[in-house]
Structure 1
């Protein structure tokens, strides 16, 4: 192999060894552990060249070398192939996620699963209301003057509201209103559905105008409930205990960040689907105090539409191919559940 490709092979070996052993990697260990097909002197020269180019550096207390952010970046972009999920891992994903009873449960199970698969801190954003479409609106009479309004969204989210009516509503009135409301809102994005519903009373007979107003007001309020747009679930913080040697630089700032959901949402970044997994390494992230951590994230949602993001975050010394494969696999599975629900 040529000098450049051999140097890349040496870099890959350094990254893989450092992630696996947690120890800076020396030329002797590389020659022993990897069939690089060249002399130790050549490996030492390659390591010197990689160091000059900024891909590896020497921690001051050690003879070995460790990858820099730039080295990890090259590894992720050029050298890493995603590890396929094992049959056991795929079964674990299916078994755990298929048992979920509702959207909250899907999110909580996904976080647990991701942190178990990657041994990192997992973050799953709750699907944002603003990106959803209305699947169905149901009106259920409880008493003649009390209605349960159920709003079902494309993300699997369900909002329920009670309406106290000004006067009794007959079954025929309710049936007609149910049809009109669903004609206006079903399959429509939240913001557009709210607009369509606001013009509904102009088209209804005046004897049901009052009922229409009462129901539309409640549905619109349920649609504009943005509390969950800033919510994330976090799991696996205990995995950070494995990084005791980098506590001050990587672990402490990350533990503090886990308290701040807005910070975590920015860490995850913009959700994109289509199988793309985003990797932000060290200084590439949005926060300088988290410069010793990396984020592996992707979007998820029904029908290839990203309604939220999920991923893992941890010190830069992470198993990138394994983390990327797990993040992608869990996102695909959650998307499938949302498609079917």
Structure 2
């Protein structure tokens, strides 16, 4: 059984190792932390921690580093996640508040998380399949060229160019816009796609070909499955931490490029009392990420599937700060997307 003081020693080792990347010895713990005991006593505590496989000696030096199990105990023992500063929270609201649509919002989100944590950041698109069509817009760019815009109630915008076999005037386009909105509006994406591929009643035969082209284009947009997609930023951060990995980071990069791996991993992560989930080292071995830690949090749009965002990095990371940053951004996203 590990004593409270030994757990405090473990916390000191984790914090010092994360800050310095150097193995931590009993003398440095006494100098940097106020334990009120001798270095010999700290060495005894470290021996107990090593017996419990919470710390290990990377080589013959007297210093120790945390193991995956040690990081897990450290994270589980966190009684409070260090909050972000008011300046950091203001930066989140300012930077993300400038987004004009969901695509830009999520692109800005991963860039921001990457900057806040100095790790590789990922965000999962909210489910598009379960969203409903809010509005269909047709924009004439030329007599035979129309921009089809499909807007969902979750804020996603799909745009696609339709090339027509015959010119269409503004009056006809306005009529088709109304009819297509009647067909698709309020339906789920799957329902809208099916409806748009059916017959449009009462349509002037002269416009049948144009209507079919526009409806087919919108139907294809409605079939896009955006929830099976991740946005990634900060790969350079991962490269900069290469020395924290025992082998090559190529395997890690390949696993991340296989987005289905991270999507499946996200699906298995459950948030704790801090509203974040943390998977450490060997806990990710089955996903080919045994040397990484993943910190994630959920965000959602009311009535839609829950999505996740998070970071991927080496096990040597500032867990408290990373958890706070990921949680804060996820809460902002939920609040913003809920309002729209």
Give the shorter-chain TM-score range: 0.7 to 0.9
Aligned partner (choices 236, 239, 263) of residue 237 of structure 2: 239
Flag structure 1 segments of 5+ consecutive residues without an equivalent: none
Equivalent in the alignment of 1:34: 33
CA distance in structure 2 between the partners assigned to 1:53 and 1:292 by the alignment: 20
- Equivalenced residue count is 336
Q: Deviations over 1:217-255 (max 9, x none)?
A: 3321111134x5554333222223543533443634324
> How do residues 275-286 of structure 1 correspond to structure 2 at under 5 angstroms?
276-285=275-284
In 2, the alpha carbon distance for the partners of 1:273 and 1:64 equals: 33
Contact 2:162 / 2:213 at 8 angstroms: preserved in 1?
no
Q: Is the 8 A contact 2:2 2:49 kept in 1?
A: no
1:133 has 2:129 as partner = no
1:250/1:17 CA distance change after superposition, 3 Å: farther
TM-score (norm 1): 0.81
Cα distance in 1, alignment partners of residues 300 and 321 from structure 2: 22
Moved more, 96-105 or 10-19: 96-105
Q: Distance in 2 between matches of 1:191 and 1:37?
A: 66
Q: Secondary structure at the match of 2:137?
A: strand
1:21-40 Cα shifts (integer Å, max 9, x gaps): 21122222222222234443
Q: Secondary structure at the match of 2:231?
A: strand
Deviation at 1:151, TM superposition (A): 0.5
| Alignment check: 8 A CA contact 1:145 1:166 kept | yes
Matches within 5 A, 1:129-168: 129-140=128-139, 148-153=147-152, 154-162=154-162, 164=164
**What pairs with 1:1-341 in structure 2 (closer than 5 Å)?**
4-79=3-78, 81-140=80-139, 148-153=147-152, 154-162=154-162, 164=164, 171=171, 174-175=174-175, 178=177, 181-182=180-181, 185-195=184-194, 197=196, 201=200, 204-205=201-202, 210=208, 214-226=213-225, 228-249=226-247, 251-269=249-267, 276-285=275-284, 287=286, 289-303=288-302, 305-306=304-305, 308-341=307-340
Change (3 A) 1:182 1:298: farther
Distance 1:245 1:83 in 2: 27
For the aligned residue pairs, the C-alpha RMSD in angstroms reads 3.5
Are the aligned partners of 1:56 and 1:65 in contact in 2 as well (CA < 8 Å)? Answer: yes
Larger deviation, residues 35-44 vs 320-329: 35-44
Alpha-carbon distance, 1:197 to partner = 4.8
Answer whether contact 2:9 2:45 (CA < 8 A) is retained. Answer: yes
Contact 2:103 2:156 in 1 (8 A): no
Contact 2:281 2:290 in 1 (8 A): yes
Please say if residues 135 and 181 of structure 2, whose CA atoms lie closer than 8 Å, have aligned partners that are also in contact.
Answer: yes
Gaps of 5+ in 2: none
Q: In 2, Cα distance between the equivalents of 1:118 and 1:143?
A: 47
Deviation track 1:268-290 (CA, whole Å, cap 9, x = no partner) reads 44688998322111111154642
CA contact (8 A) 1:24 1:64 kept: yes
User: Offset of 1:84 from its aligned partner?
Assistant: 0.7
Distance 1:115 1:256, change over 3 A: same
1:174-218 deviations in whole A, cap 9, x for unaligned? 54x6556445544443224334555675xx346579476554433
CA pair 165-60 structure 1, distance change in 2 beyond 3 A? same
In the alignment, the residues of structure 2 paired with residue 114 and residue 122 of structure 1 have an alpha-carbon distance, to the nearest angstrom, of 6
Judged with a 3 Å threshold, the aligned counterparts in structure 2 of structure 1 residues 186 and 74 are, in CA distance, closer, same or farther, namely: farther
1:106-158 CA distances to partner (integer Å, 9 max, x unpaired)?
A: 23322221111101111233445324332222244667876543201214333
| Partners of 2:145 and 2:269 in 1: CA distance | 40
Change over 3 Å in CA distance of 1:170–1:196 after alignment to 2: same
Of residues 51-60 and 112-121 in structure 1, the stretch that sits farther from structure 2 once superposed is 51-60
